[in-house]
Amino acid sequence: MAEFAKAFVFDLFGTLLDVASLRTAVAEFTSEPDAFVAIWRQKQLGYAFAATSMGCYEDFDALTARALEYAARNTGVTLDPDQQRSLVRAWNVMAPFADAKACLTELRAADIACDVLTNSTVRTSMEALDHAGLAALIDTVHSVDEVRLYKPSPRAYGVVSASYRCAPDEFVFVTCNGWDATGAAEFGMRVAWCNRLGAPQETFGKAPTWTVSSLTELVPALGILAHT
């Protein structure tokens, strides 16, 4: 077959796994679970960006716990230590997006490797993929833990090209996060931005190579089958 890419590399949380599904676990503690989850996620990413800028790396599990504590204080929710641990563990049992398995299955059927590049730890990511029923469809999980710098640092994306020992443009990076799409594009990867929410394109950084509204559109939009 003609090789379309060394691998399709997927972001995990927010792309294959639905962060909004945390509302089920959070609903036990607040009457506004969607708002709580939004604050939690925003602060989690904010801490990751800050950790890279400040040079004080902590792994994503630790930052998730710190962000949860912030979200609880911000919304007036009281959580005891066991409840905090339970909510942090909810990241390991998150629901997949409905289109994730079909997309990965279609790519694997075309003999294309499917990897993950995540800000999370390998242990958490593997457990989350297994719970979501996606682990068997993923070849390799790459974590920024290897360089102790979070995406969108160029060195974070470099984990993948270093692993394969080839150029960034030999990969297709797939993400639902606009900042992640521009980060990977700036690094030199071909990028498919899955714009599920119909957000405007980022105004800073390079534009993605392709834009789709769901993972279902990925294979036809990229013309992958024509290359296999």
Q: What percent of the chain has pLDDT over 90?
A: 94
Structure tokens at 132: 């979501």
Handedness of CA 158, 58, 54, 49 (dihedral sign): positive
Distance CA 19, CA 96 (A): 9
User: What distances in angstroms separate CA 130 from CA 11, 85, 175, 180, 223, one per listed residue?
Assistant: 16, 20, 20, 24, 29
Residue whose token pair is 């379309």: 4
Residue 161 has pLDDT above 70, yes or no: yes
Give the three-class secondary structure for 193. Answer: strand
Distance CA 181, CA 201 (A): 10
Please give the CATH superfamily to which domain 19-93 belongs. Answer: Putative phosphatase; domain 2 (1.10.150.240)
Which CATH number does 7-18+94-227 carry?
3.40.50.1000
**What pLDDT is stored for residue 223 in this prediction?**
83
Q: What is the pLDDT of residues 105-145, one digit of tens each?
A: 999 998 999 999 999 999 999 999 999 999 999 999 999 99
User: Which part of the chain has CATH 1.10.150.240?
Assistant: 19-93
User: Which part of the chain has CATH 3.40.50.1000?
Assistant: 7-18+94-227
- Let me know: does 99 contact 132? Beta carbons within 8 Å: no
Structure tokens at 199: 């957000």
**What pLDDT is stored for residue 112 in this prediction?**
93
Residue 1 has pLDDT above 60, yes or no: no
**What pLDDT is stored for residue 49 in this prediction?**
97
Mean pLDDT, the chain, as a whole number?
Answer: 95
Distance CA 157, CA 142 (A): 9
Q: What percent of the chain has pLDDT over 70?
A: 96
Catalytic residue numbers? Answer: 11
Residue 210 has pLDDT above 90, yes or no: yes
In this structure, what is the dihedral angle of CA atoms 41, 43, 44, 45, given to the nearest 10 degrees? 90
Closest alpha carbon to 98 in 72, 133, 122: 133
Q: What is the CA radius of gyration of the chain?
A: 17
**What pLDDT is stored for residue 4 in this prediction?**
81
- Tallying the residues shown for the chain, one arrives at 228
Residue whose token pair is 């509204």: 213
Residue 183 has pLDDT above 70, yes or no: yes
Any idea what DSSP says for residue 14? T
**What pLDDT is stored for residue 2 in this prediction?**
47
Instruction: Name the pTM for this structure.
Output: 0.95
Residue 202: Cβ within 10 Å count: 18
Residue whose token pair is 């942090």: 88
**What pLDDT is stored for residue 225 in this prediction?**
57
- Let me know: does 164 contact 132? Beta carbons within 8 Å: no
Burial of 186 (0-12, 13-18, 19+ CB in 10 A): middle
What is the average per-residue pLDDT within 86-94? 97
What is the average per-residue pLDDT within 92-98? 97
**Pairing mode, strands 190-194 and 210-212:** parallel
Residue 174 has pLDDT above 80, yes or no: yes
